[in-house]
Every structure is written in C-alpha cells, then in structure tokens.
Structure 1
Amino acid sequence: MAISATPTATRAQLRDPFLDWRTIRTPHFVIHYHEPLGYLARRVAAVAERAHSTLSTVLAFAPRERVQIVITDDADAANGSATALPYDTIRLFAEAPDDLSPLADYDDWLTTLVTHEHTHILHLDNASGLPSFINLLLGKVYMPNHVQPRWFLEGLAVHEETEHTSGGRLRSSQWDMYLRMDALEDRFWDLDQVSSSADRWPHGNAAYLYGSFFVRYIAERHGRVALATIAHEYGASVIPYGINRVAQRATGSTFIELWDGFLDERRAHYREQQREVDALGRREGTRLTTHGEIARAPRYLRDGRLMYLRADNRSRGEIVIVDPITGERRDVLARVNAGGEAAVHPDGRTIVFSRSDAHRDIYFFSDLVRRDLETGEETRLTDGLRAREPDLSPDGRYVVFTMSRAGTTRLMIAELADVTGTMRELTPGARFQQWYTPRFSPDGRLVVASTWRDGGYRDVVLVDVATGRIEDLTHDRASDTGPTFSPDGTRVVFSSDRTGIANLYAYELASGSLRQLTNVIAGAYQPAIAGDGRRITYVGYTSYGFDLFAIDTELTGFREAPPYIDTRPIASDTAPIWTAESEDYDALPTLYPRSYFLDLTPDSFGTTLGITIAGEDVAAFHSWSARIGFGLERGNMSIDAGYSYNRLPLSISVRGFRRVTRVGGLQIGGEDVPWIQDAWGGDVGVAYSFPRAFRGNTISTSYALTWTEAGAPFTTEPLDPNFPPPLLPETGFFSTLRFGWSYSDVERYGYDISPSNGQALGIGASVSDPAIGSQFRVLTLTWSFTRYLPMPWLEHHVLAFRYAGGISGGDLDRLGIFGVGGFPTVPLIEGFNSPVILGGSALRGYLPNDRVGSQFHLAQLEYRFPIYRFNRGILTLPVYLNRLWATVFADAGDAFFGEIDFSRFRVGVGAELHVDFTLFYILGFSLRIGYARGLGEGGIDQFYAHLGVPF
C-alpha cells in the first residue's frame, strides 16, 4: 500500500457509536483517537514532536497552528493521508504494513508513517506572497503546493521518511527491485507518465517510486536545501504548474533536464548490479505465470498440484490451481478480495483462507473462511476477528493465523472446529510486534514464522506449539520473510534480502548452517516446496508485477549464505511516549468555517452572487454547509443549508432552503403567464447500508416539506370577458415521503474501460398525501436494472444493458412527469467549470425530453470495446491522455400518459467514442463524442460532444 498525500475518508470507523473518542495535546499537535488506541496515540504524540523538530528545520517551515492528527483502527491496511485544507490534518491507520508491502522496511512503522505525513504538512502548508494574501481575505482556500505533480509531493515525503529513520522505502530492497526491473527491461516511465498516472504496474505507487529516487538524485547533486527552496518558491506562486521555472531557480536546471540525467544514473547503477549478480552465476526459476500485477502464497497440494492467489487487475482476485510444470490454469478454488492466503486440509477436500467481509455492517475486516471444494459451500469461521495468513496442522485439527488490532499483530492458534471459542495467543508478543506467514512443521510440533521486533529486526523464528518457546533462526536487520518447512522437516526455506536482493535460503535445523538457493536479479519471495523436496515454486518479479517462478534445486544450495553487513543508521528509539492527560473529544474547535467562497450563478431573474461557508470536524462526526445568494437583478435572497450527523450506523442529513424563482402555472386568457414563487422548505433523510464481500444493499427514506406562496402580487392586464377567468396557481404545503432500495454486485477492475461484470438494481417510491402534511395526493414509483457481461472472446469487451422505468398517479396537476430523449447541449467549457457531467441514460437520436408523460420506459444496449491506450502527456504539463474506447448502441423507450403502446416506442441507434483523460495531474474526465440516428417519429441525426460517463 502507498502512503498518500490525498485526503482519505475514514467514515467507516466513525459510524461506530460505541467508540470512546479522546484527545491529547502537545505543543505542535492535537491527537484524536478512540480507545483502545490510547497507548499508540501517546507514541504518535512523541514521534510527531520528534519529527517536527527535525523536519521544520530541514524544510525551513513551521505551521502557524497545531496540526490535527486523527488515528483510527478501521482497516486491515497500512496507510495515512495529509492535507492542509481546510486546516492541517493528518489521518493515520493503526495498522502496520503487511508481509510483502513496499512499506515493510522500517525500524518503527509509526516513526516512518508520521515522518512521511508530517513532511506533507510542512510542504503543503507552505504558502507566501500573493497566495498568502488571498488566504488572508477568503480564509484558507489556496495552497499552491497542493497542485504539484504527485511524484514531487510523494517523492519528497518518501525521501524524508528515509533520511530520518533507519528504514524507509529508499532503503527497501523491494522498492529498489521495482525500479531496477524497469531499468533492466527497458520500461522506464517517462516524466509525463509519472506526472499524471499511466495505466500500468505499479500504478499509484509509481509517483512514490520514481519521485523518491528522483528527489534523492536532486538532493545529492544540488543539496537538500534545493528541496526546501522548491517548496518555498512554488508556495509563493499565484499561477500554478510552472514547476520547471521553480526547479531552474533552485537547481539551475528544469525537471525535464534533470530527468534524463536521473534515468542515465539509474541505468548505470542497475547494470553494475546485474554484473555483480552474473559474476556469481545466475540461478533463477522458470516463469510459470505471465499475468503480472499480484501473485501470492503458493502452496503445493498433496496430489502435486499448485495453488496460489492471483490478482491481475483484469479480472476477479481468486485462489486458483495451476499445473506446477507449465503454469496452466486448471481450476478456481475461491474468490477473494483483501488477503487471500489459503491452506489445504489434509483431506484434500477443504481449504481455509482469509477474505475481507463486513462486520456489524460497519467495518470491513479480514476473516477466516472454510470452503468445501466438492460442494462449493463456504462457512465463515470468524466475524470481525481481523484474522489472516492461516495454516493447518498436519492432522487438520488446528489452525494457526495472525490477528491484528491496535497496531499489534499476534500469532494465534485455535481448533478448526471452533476458532473463536478456542483461540489463544501461541506465544506472548510485545506491544507493536508483528507476525507474518506462520507455517506448521510436518509433525505439527513447531510453527515457523516471520516477525518484526523493535530495532528494525525482521527475522525468522521457530515457535514450540506446546510451550510457546521461541527460537531465533535469524537475528539481523535484513528482511527475512515467507518461511516454510521442507517436506522432511529438516530445513526451513525463506526469503532474505541480506545481499540487497531478495533470494531464497535454506536453514538446516540440525547444524544451524544457512545456504543460498537462488541468485536472481529481481527478487524471490514466499517459497513453496514440492513433496520431493527438490522443486521450489516462489513469487518472483518482472516490470509487469509479481508472478510464479519454479526452480529445481537441492536444498543444500550453491553456496554458504553471505553474512549480513549492517550499514543502516541506529534504529529509532521506540520507547518514548507522551505522558500528558487525555480529554474528551470536542468537535467544536474544528467545526467552524475556515474560509468562504464567492460565486456568480444564473437564476430565473439574471445573476446571483453567492457566499458559501462550510465546516466539518476533524473526526467527521458533523458536517454542514450554508449558501446565501443575493439576486443582482431583483434583490431577492436565497438560502440553502444542510447538516449531516455521521456517528451512527445509519447516516442522517437535514436540509433547509428558501428560493424565490420565476415559474409557470398562472393561466390568463388561456395562456401560461410567469409568476414569482417564494418557496420555503426542508427535508430530513436517513440511509442504512448492508455491505458484504462483493455486494451491497442500501435502504433509505426521507421526508420533504415545502411551503409556497406568491413572491409578488399577481398582476394582469384588464381581463377580456370573452376569455375564461384567470386560473391561479396552487400554493401552500406540499410534502413527500420517499423510500429507496438499491443492490449492486457490479465489478470493475483497473484495466477495464467501464464496469465489466455484475448487476445493479434499484427501486424508489415517493408519496404525497394530506396524512403527511400535503395538500395533494401523488404516488410515484421508479425502478432500474443494469447488467454487465464480459465477452469471452476479447479482453475488456463488455455487453452492457440497462432498463429503467417509472409511473406516477394522483392529483392530475401534481403528477410526477418523466421525459425521455437525447442529451441536452452543454458547452464543454461549462462542463469543466460547473462541472456538468452527463450520465449515460438517454434515448439517443431524439431531442431532449422528446417524449414526456406520467409513465416512462427506457432500455439501452451497448457493446463496449477498447481501441487504444495512449498513456501519454506533454512532459510536466497538467494534461494527460489515458485511453480511447468505443460503444455501439441501441436505445428504445417512450414516455406517455395513459395506457402503454409499444407501437409508439422510439428507437435510436448509433456509436460513440470515449476519450479518457486527466487534467491537473489528478482529475479524470471522459469526453464522449457520438452520433445517433432516431428511427421513429421525431428522430433526428444527432451529433454530440460532452463530458460524460456511461451507465
């Protein structure tokens, strides 16, 4: 996982009403957390103050106010985020990095995490000159360093996380492997691709990867002061994106000029590294799979077949069986999302694996699942336990696994028949200790595992199942991971990066000797040994990601393992904690507005000047917004205000408004005459979600009440006695009670052009009646069904179908009115400014709202296919072309009053081109260019171009 500078929502945890939230204050930080994270929060407080004292000097900047830090424990992932808007905020997950995470090289993961995120704060909050004056007038609205390429934002933070710890990604052998294989396989990313986001591995991590090495290259040649200078210079820029001018002032060269030198330096470095590996004799396996992206946890079954976790970002994540010789895919055992490590029962009929699923309809945690391979029946063994990486004892009675909570991962053992009732900690662990990939010995008496302990030690240890006694097999600051026993139980094979490249090693238990088994140029991880003890399958790497490799080798290896040479600085001190008393969390200090926004928008009279203010407390319990508009033509005032409460399993929102508009409905002389309506109203709504692995349901209800009256006296010309008397519009109370239900199991993967599999359903109902405060009676029903089918003949080709309908009945003058027709004309520039993003639901080939009525039906069928992946931009300019794809479609529908008549349904056919592109480095858009021809009455030849998304 990547540590990100982009604000990350943490609402899942905040929906738990039973959490006790507390606050700790330090000179430069305010730390908010929920129990039982009190000890961890005090560690964070001490670490943050230590990081601030160093980083504020290095980056020559300190925030004017205390930085808010929010710590939650709602996700089985290591991550964090930072933002300077609307106030300096850091959000941290209380979870250490997992086994093969590129974040896993650390002496203390809290120190690394806080150092990274506080670097962001000192960088993003750095504004001066005219931007500072703008913020003085309007509040904190414009921080120029927020709008930089992510490679510099993240590269600077990764550079500092490495400089101020003895770990960090720039010391990680896996991080180095990512860039090394891009170099040796001639697949270096270009600067334009890193500045936006190319559609290829390692995806979002590329900004961190290339950015960190590039920033280090700049610092080594121009001094670290150049980094601070760039932050200060850009923070004073009124017009953003002039990053090369800033770089030239700080270093004498533009980033474009520096990039070529950086790539040349890296190529030379990695070619020399390759020569060193070749000098010892390359010992690599044969590549079994070629999907790239993610491969994890290979295991041999008793019949000799090979099982592993495959997640190629093109289809579902699955536990699959492949031929151990050819790598050909044979069978799918289970579908997985997060986690996915699996163990096979000795009976050969059952597997136990980890999968992320809902807990209390609030959290998504990893749990253990048992699957019968003959019947396909699945049984969830735990609920919310945060259990991962299971292994089964040779007799199938026990399961050993890891369990994380409050920043500590424990090694657990339980009876498979009753996991939650019999589980216990296999061996007592220290606070913040981490355990990974436990494996039983062939006789079931021992468990071998990888563990992280204070001081940056990531070692392989043996644990006695009966006594819990630990024996170290390694004890150094190399990363020793993924251990497993040989079939005869005499050796432990594991991965170690003691030479700077991860290779496989065999530890002989009787003699204590350590031998090197592979000598690869990329990396070798998570070995699995065949029953004969000679063939080893491992997780290897290319520039396309991780795959399975297999090698036939003796477990005696080809040479004695070289000693680990420790060149790292002294590890960070993990002992200090902040001792100040905590206090109850108070939302008010961060709930008040920090800025206001002005806008000019059209209304029915002309133009309205709007002032908007908003606020949200740092723990996101409360959020609110308010806008007051002043009509420049008539002087009318409009008000919109809303509030939501987010500390319950269901979401609650309240909204109120006052609007003065020119509307129709006044009939004089048989003609509709505009009149001024003054409307006051509001609504309250609640919603509850039922999330599950791979699917979800949501139910919602709301009540709205509106009072309307004439905003000005009705004025008419002298009435003609030959015409009927005027018909005044109805005013008074109008209320609506709405209900909704939705379901979705729709899937979309990283390389898809649109959703590619699954279905979505939705039903809505609204009722107005005097019993609920309305002067009118209206009942309206709507429904929709969407289905996506991947085509078997070509990758990313999708057949998409959508049907929607609605019907309304009641008082004739208050019926719900539906319309079907083509897309309205929206200028592209308005789409970028508003933004106006038109969805895919339309009867193309007809004018907008060509057909109207109290009932409608619309069916759409599309065949979608990719054409070309551009993955190109222009150097560091904030414009990037992602991909081109197309749709061939047919629409059929009608809106009408009275009985349905299929003979009157309109049909339209046509085709569209979609250009996906990115602006300002992070904002994605899709340009839809289409032609449609209406085949029924009122049909036209319609050409359109607008920003849009498919259904």
Structure 2
Amino acid sequence: MNTCAMVRRLGVCLLLGLLAGTARAQCFELLGGGPGGRAWRQLESAHFRIVYPASLDSVALRVAAIAEASHTALAAWFGFALQGKPRLYLSNADDIANGLAVPLGEGYSCIWIYGHDVDAWTGTTPWLERVVPHELAHLFHYQAVRTRPAWLNLLLGRPLPRFWTEGLAQYTTETWDAQRGERWLRTAVLDDALSYEDGRSRWNGRLMYAVGHAQTRWLAWQQGDSTLRRILTHRSRRLGLLPVHDFYTAFRDVTGTSYRSFYERWRRHVNVLYNTMAGQMETPDSLRGDTLAVPVAYVDDLALSPDTTHWAVLGLPSMERPGRTLYVGRPGHWRAVVEGDIRPPVAWSPDGRWLAFARRERGPKGGVVYDLWLASADGRTHQQLTRGARAFAPTFAPDGRRLAFVSVADGAAHLQVLDLEAGAVRWTKAFPASVRIGTVRWRPDGRALVFDRFVEGRRRDLVLWYPETDSLVVLTDGRHDDRGPVWSPEGRHLAFTSLRDGVPNVFVLDTASGKVARVTRLVTGARVLDWLPPSPGFPEGRLAVVVTLSKYGEAVRLVDARRRAVERPVEVPEPYRAWMAYVAPSRRMLDTLAVRSVPVSSPEPYRSWANLTHVASLALPYYLGPLGAGVGGFTLWLEPLGYHAIAAGGMLSATQPRYSFASVSYLSRRGWGTVGGAVYRLPGAAVPYDNGTLVEVQTGGELVLGRAFSAPPYGRQWGSLRLRYRDRRPLWPRHPERLRGLLPPPASGRQLDVTLKLRLERRRPYRYNTVHPLDGEGVRFRLLGAVPVLGADLQFARLDVAAYRLWPVMGRHRLLTYGRVQLQRGRSLPQDYLGLSRTDAVHLLLPGIEPEVFAPAFHERVRGYRRLAAGRTVLFGSVEYRVPLLSDLQTRILGLVRLGATALAAFADGAIVREGMNTERLGAGIELKNALHLGPLVLTHALGWAHPLRPDEPGARRELYYRIRAAVPF
C-alpha cells in the first residue's frame, strides 16, 4: 500500500475512535430519547444548569433542590466547590433508570428520571435522591483529578479506572446494601472469582461496582477519608514536565503500598468475612428438592402452566448467547417462544394458550418503553396489546377475561384492569408519584390483587388491592425489602423474596394471621417464582425456587412448601464487618440535609449552539517521507443532546502542497433521524489496478440524511439519502497513465451524484459474532445516480443489491450464502469500474461507518484470481461452510494485541462479468478466521488458501492469502 493511502487510513481510524467517544458522550441519543420534537428548557441554580423537556418543569425544580443539597455535602467532603456550572440533562423519554457523567468542559450529567425499575436497587431512598448525588460525585471526581489538556492526561496516565470511579461515587453518596454491593461481592468471593473482566458472568457489571465500592469503603475505614482525598490530589510528572494524575501511582505514593498489595490484603479480609458467614448459613447444596432442568443459565422468571404440563422460563441462555429468551416446554423439550428485552414477570392465561409479558422497544414518540404483548404457547403468534403505554407486570385473572398490569403516566404508577373481551380498561387505581410498583398477582379467587410497593423515603411492603371496592390492605410492616409475591394455590398464603439478609431469601406469609416464616437461609441467596399445586408427598405444594449457585449461573429447585429454616443471627467478629457500616461524612450529611426548594432562574429556551462542548483538539508537526513535512491536527466539538457535532481536521504540508488535506463535517440528530454534511479535500479510497493502486484527491462536499427504523428484536433497519458534488483528480501515482492494463488509465472529472441506500438486517447477540455468527440474515439495496449539472460531466445510474443468510447445519456448524447483483448504465470514470478486484480490500464493520471509507464499494474478489475484471453487469456469489475451532487463543502480542476466537471455513466463490471484460470465475479453498483485538477495536482477519476452478481465466492461480474482512458481508 502506498504511503498516502496508509496515512489516510490511520487518520480515519483515529477520527473513528474520537467519533465513537463523541457518540457515547451524547445524552439519551443512542436510546431514542433525543431532541427531535421536544421543546427543551433550561434553568439555573447556584451551582448547576438544569436542562429538561418543557413537560418536566416540576421535576427540574426538584432536581435543582437535590443537586444543591448534594453539592453542599460533596463539596465538604472533596474540599472544593464545582468549577463553573455543570449541566444536568433530564429525560423521561425512556423506561430506563440510569445516569451518566461526562468529563468534558466543566462536566455534565445525563439522568433518566424513570424510577419504576424498583428491583434494581433496595432501601427507601427515592430514585432522584440516589442518582443525582451519585452523578455529581462523578463530576467532583473528574474535577479533582483533572489536568489540562485532559486528553494528554488520558494518554500519559490512568486517572479514572472505572471500578474506582464508580466505587468512590457509591461510597460518598450511598450506603452498603444488598443491591449495591453485598450480594454480588459475597457470591464472587465464595466462588474465588473476583474478576469482573472474565466475560463469563451476567453479573460482572454489578460486581465491578461492588468491588470498587467495597475497596473504597474498606480503605476509608482503615486509613480515613483524608487518604482518599490525597489520592485524588496527587500528581506525577510525565515527560519530565507535565503533571498528570495516575491512580496507581497516586495510590502507591499516598498509602505507601502498591494497589496490587492492597488488593491482596483486601481480598484476604473479605474471604475471611464471607467464609465465616457461609459456615453459619445454608449453602445451595443443603437445599433439598428436585432440580428442574431449565434451558437458561440465569433465570428471570418461570411459571407452571395451569394444567401443570409445561413451564414458561424466561432468562439468559448463556453468556455466549446473551439474548433474553422466553422458552416453553418441559425438561429436555424446550422451544423458544419470543426474544428481546423482556421484563419479568411472565403470566399464563388460565386456558394455557397464551403468555403475557412486557417488552421494551422503541415507542411511537421515539423513546424506548415497555409495552404489553401476548404470545401463543407454541410461539407462532405474537400480538401487541399496548403501544407506548409504558406498561409492565401483566397478570391474568382466574376467569381469563381480565388482565391486570401496571402503567406509568406522567411519572406516576397506575394499576389497571383490562377487560380482554371488551378491549377496554375496567378499573384503574392511581397512585401518588412517590409510589412505585413491582410485581402484581391475582389472588386465586379473582377478588384481589397483591403487589410489592415502594413508597419513596418510607417503606417497601406487600399490599392487597380490592378493585371492586378500591381498598388497600397492607400485609407487611415495611421494614424490609419484600418483593415478588406468589400466591399459594388455596389463596391464603403468600411466598415472597426478601433482601433482609443482604442477599435474597424466601419467606412465607399467612395472610389471615399475618405471621411470616422463613423458608431459606442461603448464604448466596434464593428467589421464589411460583407455587405448585399439592401433589403426593407435598400436601401444601412445592415452591419453585431459583438458587444462586455461583456468579456463573443459577438453578431451579422444587422445594416442599412446608420447609422452614432456623432464624438466627450470623456472628462475625466486628473487625471483619465494621467496614460495611462505616459511612462517609458526605453520606451522613446527605441524610441530615433536607431537600428544600432553592432559588432558580426563570426557565428559558435551551440554546443548543451555546452549549457546544469541546471534546478534544491536537496539532503536531509531522514528517512523512513522500508526503513531506508540515503540521496536522484535528478538533472535535459536540452538543450533549445531539443537536450538533462538529469535527475538523487536516494536514498542511509545507514541502508538498499537493499532499495537504482538510475536512470539516457536521452531524445533527433529530427525532426523525440524522442530517449531516461535510466539505473536504481528502484522499479517496485506494482503487486497485492490475499494475498498481490509484488514490484520488476528492474536493467537494456532501449532504446526508439518514434514519433508523425499529426492527425488534435484534433487527437493524437503516435508510439514507446522500447528495455529493466532487472534483476528482488522480493523486497517486503522480503519473496515472502508467497504470496500464485492461482498463483505461484513471481520469479526472466532476461528479454530482445521489445515493439511496436501504439496509435490513437481523442477527442475535453472540459472543463470537465477530468471527463465527450463529445466525443472521440481511439485504442491502443501493441506487446511485450521477447527473451532468452544475459543471459535472458524468452521467450514469448504478444498481447494487446484495443479500446474505446463515443456515444452521449441525451443532454450531453454519453455512453462509451471499449473493450480489450489480448493473450500470451510462458513463462513469474508469477508476469507478464495476467488477472484480485483484486484491482483497480491508473490510471493517463499524457502527455508523460505511465500509467504503476503507475500500471501494463496488468491488468483490473471487479468491484464486489476481486480475481485475470490469463490465456493466456483475453477478457474484459465495458459499462458506464454517466450523468453530477455538473460543479464544489466549495469545497476546506485545501486550497490546490479542488473538481471540478462531473458525475454519471451506468456501467457493463464483462470478460472472458481462458487457465489458466478459469472464466467468470459480474458486474454492479453505480459510482460517480469527478475531484480532486491538484494545477496544475487534477486527476479523484470515489466512487462506484458494484454488481456481477455471484455470484458463485471466489471473487464475493457486494462492496463499491474508485479508481483513468482516465475518458477514455487510
């Protein structure tokens, strides 16, 4: 490859990395709740700017009050007030309880205010009073370790290891509890599997938080909060001059020991703690009962059909196949009924024909929200019951004519009962905004519903609702986090899960007497999901209990409902458990600070251009041989809601002006899609000729409109329209007429073209999709037309249609079929030939980046042939029989490059070219594919041997080749 093309590709890779970071820094956009169609407003308090949709005026005032109270507590702990006025962006567009903080500019945070995912945390602290302080702690952390320029600190140091960043935020704003540390850390310690980077556990993300939280709390308990603050203020010199913050260096210098030594001491401490607890509690092996063999490694829900012949099981099949799936069947005979982002519970209809569930998808207003669905038990029929209703927790009445569920409107929960025959809501129970509801179940007599309730700031309990009289009966005292109620067959008892042990365990409530009995006392926890009817030997029935075996999976045990566990305290020496109760001064201050209204400015329209935020900039001198010497650089800016993203870059050669390049691009995301444009003078993709490679310089601009369409689950549908005007001239080699061959030499020209693209694809998540996807299908349509107006001198039309599909063969063997048809009419530049290439182009699949950034869009190659072919009609097809070999080679090169999963393929390629260099080619061979990990970037590269089956065709020869090409063609 010539130097010019190589430099261009390196530059593209750099910009792609920056753009990927930019996308992650845009609030809400990737999840659908972007700015389109929404009137955003802004108000200011003493230390913050609150940005929110106009419908959230009251929420914005509450967030301002919480933020100011949190700032008082955190500023006292960190020892400084936040510089500037960081922005807090609020959204209610998505059914997501989350937040993120971004260390750009003064720092800003994006907060999803939806707080109805009550199973995600425990305690009585309201959602906003949990998420706002946590995200502000991140902003304080960012400013405490910040050095300028920030990108140089990231290059020369490790200022923000994620486990410590999240741990510090949790320590300074939260307490240690089951969902924010205990249950995940305890299980991992007892497994002797503390790594959260092994890719083998669904709970690794939670474990990463738990490890950081436990370590920061343990260090503060041992050495005081001042040690944590001194770590943040520590700076090291790099390159002899530049002060940067490096966490690991700071930790060693401040504490007097390396982080690795600290980690080992902490690990030994928690091992003693949790093994002492395990010796006094039940282990999974002690829980007697039949094991139900289920088709998932992690169970979200399960329910026995009314006729007791089939089970419905919702869960994650494995970490290799991490798509949540609902199965129906019995051990040894399971069928997948539906897939996607399904929220438990799942409910059977009384006749056993239907399953009701909630699935999260893109709603009519663009947000990702829960809606109710019905699926037939055989999986053949799916029916959507609600659209944009933000509904979940469906449960059928015993008569089968009514369906109760929870819906959320204007931030408040409503219990609703839908008359399925009339298609109308029969009863509605509205709750105050401070009430959240989890699971709902009809009582077997059909007269009442039970649900678990979270009243912010007060209690978590189980409650009965009688729809006929609209009356509520509180069943539990609210002191513990009791959730997931399940009725006994006779309707007198309730089994439920409680987090009072730091892990979930099972209890039974007698609703007549109010007495609560303990069923399990497992050290790693258990959850109850169903109560089976009485059977021989089990007069009160059995409980379907999900037991945590390890961080790598769960099991289902059918336990006698009469089982009782001894209630006794766990005794651990105080020095080993004292750190759990150690509370940061900032957390104590947050508990004492009342959230009162604060002075704020009058709301005003949000000005997107005024909030354009600098991401990164760099300018450096360079010397690149034939490209000469000069200065190159880039700058990148974004607006956090996605209204604007601007990137500019280039290289100015002082010695070779013809090798000076520049580009300025703009992207705006709207509710209906995206619009972008660019003006540039850049090298084009390298075009292979038989005796060399051409690189053009293209000067011009373009406008692109794009839109993604909803295609659940695991579907991707995208359409775009691009208008380009370019002056195109050969750049390399300097004398393009030397590229002799069957094609005319490249020429210069001006081109105005319009491209319409549509792409539809579906592929399930799989750990090794990069090399050996197990399923997938897609079709791509592209129509390109050039017209001779505005000085353009080219006129042609080109049609390109491609499709692929992966077919199961046996086990994990797969057959890939790929076909492509290309047609052209009119005159294009010779270098834009339609046909077959003599070389394998670099083919990368990166989100939002077209493959032709790296290679010409209209070239395929029949392996075993090394001469190009051009024509006006091209038919290409490929078949590959793929066999997985190794999941990971466990090989690292220079500590930076890792060789991952490997697959072997036997292939056959064929092509027909007409109306030009008429040729027919057919080749076959074998290819060894491997995943190449370059930091966060994963490529598919391959080593192959090809044999031409038509040896008389031009360029035919046996060959050993190497190529970088994605496992699927688009």
TM bracket (short chain): 0.7 to 0.9
Distance 2:422 2:25 in 1: 40
The Cα shift of 1:317 comes to 2.8
Are positions 1:615 and 2:622 aligned together?
no
1:755 to 758, 761, 773: 773
Distance 1:949 1:598, change over 3 A: farther
1:587 to 595, 608, 629: 608
Distance 2:212 2:796 in 1: 59
The Cα shift of 1:791 comes to 4.9
> Which residue does the alignment assign to 2:168?
156
> Which residue does the alignment assign to 1:781?
799
Are positions 1:366 and 2:370 aligned together?
yes
Distance 1:309 1:213, change over 3 A: same
1:627 alignment partner AA = G
Are positions 1:911 and 2:911 aligned together?
no
Are positions 1:30 and 2:49 aligned together?
yes
1:155 alignment partner AA = G
1:433 to 435, 438, 442: 435
> Which residue does the alignment assign to 1:399?
403
> Which residue does the alignment assign to 2:342?
338
Distance 2:791 2:368 in 1: 41
2:726 alignment partner AA = T
Q: Deviations over 1:66-110 (max 9, x none)?
A: 212211223222222112135512111122262543x34451222
The within-5 A match list for 1:259-270 is: 259-270=263-274
Distance 1:498 1:309, change over 3 A: same
The Cα shift of 1:808 comes to 2.8
Deviates more, 1:734-743 or 1:690-699: 690-699
Are positions 1:740 and 2:757 aligned together?
yes
2:257 alignment partner AA = S
The Cα shift of 1:548 comes to 4.5
Q: Deviations over 1:446-488 (max 9, x none)?
A: 1111111122522111112123322221233421110122111
TM-score by length of 2: 0.82
The Cα shift of 1:864 comes to 4.3
Distance 1:278 1:628, change over 3 A: closer
Distance 1:622 1:504, change over 3 A: same
1:588 alignment partner AA = W
> Which residue does the alignment assign to 1:698?
718
Distance 2:561 2:329 in 1: 23
The Cα shift of 1:152 comes to 1.9
2:312 to 307, 312, 316: 307
Contact 2:629 2:655 in 1 (8 A): yes
Deviates more, 1:591-600 or 1:33-42: 591-600
2:822 to 802, 806, 824: 806
Query: Which secondary structure does the structure 2 equivalent of 1:204 belong to?
Result: helix
Query: Which secondary structure does the structure 2 equivalent of 1:57 belong to?
Result: helix
The within-5 A match list for 1:91-170 is: 91-96=110-115, 98-101=117-120, 103-105=121-123, 107-127=125-145, 131-132=147-148, 134=149, 142=154, 148-163=160-175, 170=176
> Which residue does the alignment assign to 1:469?
471
The within-5 A match list for 1:59-98 is: 59-96=78-115, 98=117
Are positions 1:288 and 2:292 aligned together?
yes
Distance 2:480 2:36 in 1: 43
> Which residue does the alignment assign to 1:166?
none
2:86 alignment partner AA = V
Q: Deviations over 1:242-277 (max 9, x none)?
A: 654332112111121122222211121111111221
The within-5 A match list for 1:471-510 is: 471-510=473-512
The Cα shift of 1:751 comes to 6.1
1:537 alignment partner AA = A
Distance 1:672 1:562 in 2: 79
Q: Deviations over 1:903-926 (max 9, x none)?
A: x3152523224245463xxx2434
Contact 1:173 1:502 in 2 (8 A): no
> Which residue does the alignment assign to 2:280?
276
Are positions 1:886 and 2:898 aligned together?
no
CA RMSD, aligned part only? 4.3
The Cα shift of 1:381 comes to 0.7
The Cα shift of 1:812 comes to 5.8
Q: Deviations over 1:848-885 (max 9, x none)?
A: 775455554252525141414467999xx985858432
> Which residue does the alignment assign to 2:11?
none
Distance 1:537 1:787, change over 3 A: same
Are positions 1:651 and 2:674 aligned together?
yes
> Which residue does the alignment assign to 2:201?
200
Are positions 1:47 and 2:69 aligned together?
no
The Cα shift of 1:513 comes to 1.1
TM-score by length of 1: 0.83
2:261 to 219, 232, 257: 257
1:686 alignment partner AA = L
The Cα shift of 1:811 comes to 1.8
Distance 1:239 1:328 in 2: 62
> Which residue does the alignment assign to 2:646?
624
Q: Deviations over 1:269-314 (max 9, x none)?
A: 1111112214999546554246665312222221113322122244
1:939 alignment partner AA = R
Distance 1:182 1:709 in 2: 61
2:720 alignment partner AA = S
Q: Deviations over 1:24-72 (max 9, x none)?
A: 2122221111132222222222222222222233234544322122112
Query: Which secondary structure does the structure 1 equivalent of 2:491 belong to?
Result: coil
2:328 alignment partner AA = I
1:398 alignment partner AA = R
Distance 2:852 2:223 in 1: 42
Distance 1:161 1:872 in 2: 41
Distance 1:910 1:872, change over 3 A: closer
> Which residue does the alignment assign to 1:685?
704
Query: Which secondary structure does the structure 1 equivalent of 2:355 belong to?
Result: strand
2:406 alignment partner AA = T
Q: Deviations over 1:798-826 (max 9, x none)?
A: 44333334333312645731442444699
Contact 2:448 2:465 in 1 (8 A): yes
Distance 2:32 2:604 in 1: 20
> Which residue does the alignment assign to 1:667?
none
Distance 1:858 1:629 in 2: 41
Deviates more, 1:213-222 or 1:728-737: 728-737
Q: Deviations over 1:728-776 (max 9, x none)?
A: 9976642101111110111223465543212011010101123687422
Distance 2:684 2:917 in 1: 35
> Which residue does the alignment assign to 2:527?
525
Query: Which secondary structure does the structure 2 equivalent of 1:438 belong to?
Result: strand
Distance 2:696 2:842 in 1: 28
1:184 to 186, 190, 193: 190
Distance 1:648 1:589 in 2: 21
> Which residue does the alignment assign to 2:740?
none
Distance 1:8 1:700, change over 3 A: closer
> Which residue does the alignment assign to 1:21?
40
Query: Which secondary structure does the structure 1 equivalent of 2:406 belong to?
Result: strand
Deviates more, 1:304-313 or 1:566-575: 566-575
Deviates more, 1:179-188 or 1:566-575: 566-575
The Cα shift of 1:692 comes to 2.3
Specify every segment of 5 or more residues in structure 1 that has no aligned partner in the other structure, as ranges.
164-169, 665-670, 717-726, 827-833
The Cα shift of 1:554 comes to 3.6
The total of aligned residue pairs comes to: 890
Distance 1:864 1:926, change over 3 A: farther
Are positions 1:933 and 2:946 aligned together?
yes
Q: Deviations over 1:154-201 (max 9, x none)?
A: 2222323325xxxxxx31257422222223233333xxxx4x553433
> Which residue does the alignment assign to 1:816?
832
Contact 1:292 1:542 in 2 (8 A): no
Contact 1:298 1:307 in 2 (8 A): yes
